[in-house]
Amino acid sequence: MESLGGYPTKPSKRKEKVFTVLLSMTVGMGCLFILHTQLFKPTKQKDFYSFEVKDAKGRTVSLERYRGKASLVVNVASYSEHSEMNYRSLQELHRELGTSHFNVLAFPCGQFGETEPGSSPHIEAFAKSTYGITFPFFSKIKIMGSEADPAFKFLTDSVRKIPKWNFWKFLVNPEGNVVRFWRADEPIESVRQEASMLVREIILKRRGEEF
């Protein structure tokens, strides 16, 4: 379009400036929105089964394989005064409740004196040959201090207690949360009762879902 004098009308600099400001504000708001959603994006709550650990051979294992079952997680040792009594009782419990709904999960730890000096493969082999252990064995870990294994730290943080010695036991429900723990010298019968009750709940729930 031309003006009355025959010259082309020039775009208003004021309008251009307003448009530039609005465009900049729009881009800025968009960037802020993206940044906000990234920073404040809700994170999935961790549970025991969401962690990965190493098995006795050093291979990475996802604990997701145990989700939906009850797990009794134990920091074990080969040469503790509690070793024979606990290993035999744990194996009996593992066999009694069966792996369809329950597992004992053993994590060797060498932070308590000289009670666990061996390597992970040696520890597993010793437990199997000496006590006939069939439950899963994992890599030797630390459960105290800055190098504490994250999966085991989840257990100790959950109960706000750090084991003072070997063979502390943590009962984990099918959702991966700790429901109870026992010290090394507490009777295995108490562990059996609680674990059996949890297994019964799992069985009844599964039966209910089938109908």
Do residues 70 and 202 touch, judged by C-beta distance below 8 A? yes
Tell me, yes or no, if the pTM score tops 0.85: no
Q: Which residues pair with 152 in a beta bridge?
A: none
Average pLDDT value for the chain: 87
pLDDT at 27: 53
What distance in Å separates the CA atoms of residue 185 and residue 194, rounded to the nearest whole number?
16
Please tell me what DSSP assigns to residue 146: T
What kind and span of H or E run contains 53?
Answer: strand 52-54
Domain boundaries, the chain: 1-42, 48-210
- In the chain, the percentage of residues whose pLDDT exceeds 90 is 75
16-56: pLDDT as tens digits: 665 565 556 665 565 455 554 454 444 455 999 999 999 99
The CATH label, of 3.30.390.30, 3.30.420.40, 3.40.30.10, 3.40.50.300, for the domain at 48-210 is 3.40.30.10
